[in-house]
Amino acid sequence: MRIERLELRLLKLPLVRFFETSFGRIHDRSFVLVVLEQDGIAGCGECVADANPFYSAETTRTAWHILHDFIAPMVVGRTFDHPRDVYGALQAIRGHNMAKAAVEMAAWDLFARQQNVPLRHALGGTRSAIESGVSIGIQDSLEELAERVAVERDAGYRRVKIKIKPGWDIRAVDHLRATFGAFPLMVDANAAYTLEDAAHLAELDRFDLMMIEQPLEYDDIRDHARLQARIGTPVCLDESIHSIRVAEEAIEAGACRIINIKPGRVGGHRQSVLLHDLAARHGIPVWHGGMLESGIGRAHNIHLSTLPNFSLPGDVAASRRYFAPDLIDPEITVRADGTIAVPEGAGIGVHIVADRVAAATQERAELRA
Ligand code: OSB
Ligand code: MG
């Protein structure tokens, strides 16, 4: 595979509904699209960095800078035997996993299209459908939260995750259990607590939650291990797991019993597969996280989710929860049984609507070999 052309686009799309986490409320999504091309065949990747540096240090602007000024010159004109080699080729650049992942994932799409196989075959996936869950943001009231949960449960989703923060945690979960009884429920704190909150978080134990995601600081493995020793709810790490090495440390320390995999966070599909395999060797289940992706990133996530140790429903849901219209046609839908069929075509297997991409584009750059 030779990278003859690389294109960057900065896009902005309005969200169907606002999304609120412990770091704030957003109404639209900005992201960078990467297109790699050889002989008229194009592969596409979506950079999950957001406009702000709250989930991670990377932003759309830092990603653009690193992609344009450093990554593009390293890959344009270069030949790769296999997309698994792309991440290693970018080793000189420290960090910036989301920028790296966007190019690496575009390379996987291009490679699979050249081989004329669905991406999941190239990745080693074993399923033709995946189990879907939803992530529900912080709402203005408990009644609105229950309404959102009712809608998603009726739509068939296999599990519900709600965002929590101090002041929106025990009462929110209690209200959902009182309203709906037993159903697969979990919470995500996006690092809103400290170890001092351990006794408070232990109050969640009585609600039989599947897990609590990233309760403590993004870079704190030690305190997650201490917290896990003090609460019954399984800890799942998201923000903390930015490399295979850190995942090994976290598993060894007992800092988590479950891992959320987002390819953007770890540097792409190859690193995600390695993380998936590491977790499997340690009996740690993984699930696929979400970053409010358009249909392009979403399709990538679906293919990756077909690997066997993705044994819990992920945050990979229907397009219409996020964007209407999405950048792809047909949109990604969830069936009544809460599963998503993996697109069957070559590569990520979805049709990207050029007019919609053009309409959402705020900036564009191109490099040729
Ligand atoms: O922590 O999992 C997270 C969205 C943006 C940034 C971080 C997170 C999320 C979500 C949404 O939870 C998942 C989705 O529906 O795409
Ligand atoms: Mg999370």
User: Which atom of ligand 1 lies nearest, measured to the CA of 134?
Assistant: 15
**Angle formed by the axes of helices 142-154 and 170-180, nearest 10°:** 50
Amino acid at 112: A
CA distance 228 to 230: 5
| Mean pLDDT within 158-187 | 98
* Confidence grade of residue 85 (pLDDT, cut at 50, 70, 90): very high
Q: Is 262 a catalytic residue?
A: yes
Residue 289 CA: which ligand 1 atom is closest?
2
Q: Where does the pLDDT of residue 304 fall: very low under 50, low under 70, confident under 90, or very high at 90 and above?
A: very high
DSSP bridge pairs for 326: none
Best mutation site among 21, 162, 258 for ligand 1 pocket (most ligand atoms within 8 Å of CB) = 21
Query: From atom 5 of ligand 1, which residue's Cα is the shortest distance away?
Result: 291
pLDDT tens digits, one per residue of 318-365: 999 999 999 999 999 999 999 999 999 999 999 999 999 999 999 999
Q: What is the pLDDT of residue 219?
A: 96
Please state the rounded mean pLDDT for residues 162-191: 98
Q: Return the pLDDT at 198.
A: 98
Q: Which residues surround ligand 2, an ion (CB under 5 A)?
A: 188, 213, 238
Distance between start and end Cα atoms, the chain? 13
Residue nearest to atom 4 of ligand 1 (CA): 291
pLDDT of residue 142: 98
pLDDT for the residue numbered 341: 98
363: β partners: 10
Q: What whole-number percentage of the chain has pLDDT above 70?
A: 100
Instruction: Label residue 234 by pLDDT band (50, 70, 90).
Output: very high
Instruction: List Cα–Cα distances, 149 to 144, 156, 202, 266, 314, in angstroms.
Output: 9, 11, 23, 30, 16
Mean predicted lDDT score pLDDT of the chain? 98
Rounded-to-integer distance, Cα 140 and Cα 294, Å:
25
Does the pTM exceed 0.85?
yes
**Which residues are within 8 A (CB) of 52 and not within 5 positions of it... i.e. 6 or more apart?**
23, 24, 59
Question: pLDDT tens-digit profile of 11-44?
Answer: 999 999 999 999 899 999 999 999 999 999 999 9
pLDDT single digits (tens) 271-294 = 999 999 999 999 999 999 999 999
Alpha helices in 69-206 (DSSP H): 72-75, 86-89, 97-115, 119-123, 142-154, 170-180, 198-202
Cα–Cα distance between 369 and 367 in angstroms, integer? Answer: 7
